[in-house]
Amino acid sequence: MACVFLLNQAQAVRERRGKLPRGTLAEAWPDLFEAGLFWVPEASKALLDQAGGPLTPVLSVQEAAVPIFYPIPPTHPDSLPETGSLLARVLAGHGIAVAWVGAGEALDRVPVEPVSMEDAFFFLRRAGGPVNHLWRLFRSRDDARAYAAKELRGVAEAEPWAGGLPASFEELLHRCRGGPPSGDGRPPVPGDA
């Protein structure tokens, strides 16, 4: 099972990305709420490791721990982002799950325009993909349930999907690290009890 890694070696991440051959993409999404932390898909971590030795992650999150919901079969599937890339972006925003909203021409009918990286809605597509996809991240089970009840009425799988999510980002991290939650909602860093 593939993972997304939380790295706290910001300087090493930046330096190694600069050493990669031109045209090589190593994604490292900065944590939106904790400076100096990066969420990195497994394939990108392998590239960074090749550029200077293994980076030790603070935490690894299996991709299956952060569910993706497609209310309908997605349009323009050739432009969908890699799973690790999408989930690294979600984790960087302290999300516990994500739902596909639409792509291409369908976005003309969506009255949402993300204005900052902290927004629950964001655009992401496969690197080099011709069509953008709109996503909705969820930071809590309650948020996902409210969205399912309002925006996904008539999609039978939406409510059970939302109901099965962790209660919060902290609970997701607790499940991944196998220890007691810290109580402050922050990702764990070395030295946390």
Least confident of 31-35, 48-52, 96-100, 174-178: 174-178
What pLDDT, on a 0 to 100 scale, did the predictor assign at position 113? 74
Least confident of 27-41, 62-76, 99-113, 167-181: 99-113
Alpha-carbon torsion 143, 62, 6, 68, what sign? negative
For residue 60, being part of any structural domain is answered with yes
In the chain, how many domains are there?
Answer: 1
For residue 66, being part of any structural domain is answered with yes
152 Cβ neighbours under 8 A, 6+ residues apart = 71, 99, 158
Does residue 172 surpass a pLDDT of 50? yes
* Segment 109-152, tens digit of pLDDT: 666 777 778 899 999 999 989 999 999 999 999 999 999 999 99
* Segment 32-76, tens digit of pLDDT: 999 999 999 999 999 999 999 999 999 999 999 999 999 999 989
CB atoms within 10 A of CB 132: 14
For residue 192, being part of any structural domain is answered with no
User: Is residue 134 within 8 Å of 103, Cβ to Cβ?
Assistant: yes
Structural domain span for residue 172: 3-177
Residues 1-5: what's their mean pLDDT? 91
For residue 191, being part of any structural domain is answered with no
For residue 182, being part of any structural domain is answered with no
Angle at 115 between CA 112 and CA 121, to 5 degrees: 50
What pLDDT, on a 0 to 100 scale, did the predictor assign at position 74? 92
CB atoms within 10 A of CB 81: 20
Tell me which of 44 and 184 has the higher pLDDT. 44
Does residue 10 surpass a pLDDT of 50? yes
Question: What's the CA gap between 165 and 151, in Å, rounded?
Answer: 17
What pLDDT, on a 0 to 100 scale, did the predictor assign at position 94? 97
Burial class (CB in 10 A: 0-12, 13-18, 19+), 58: middle
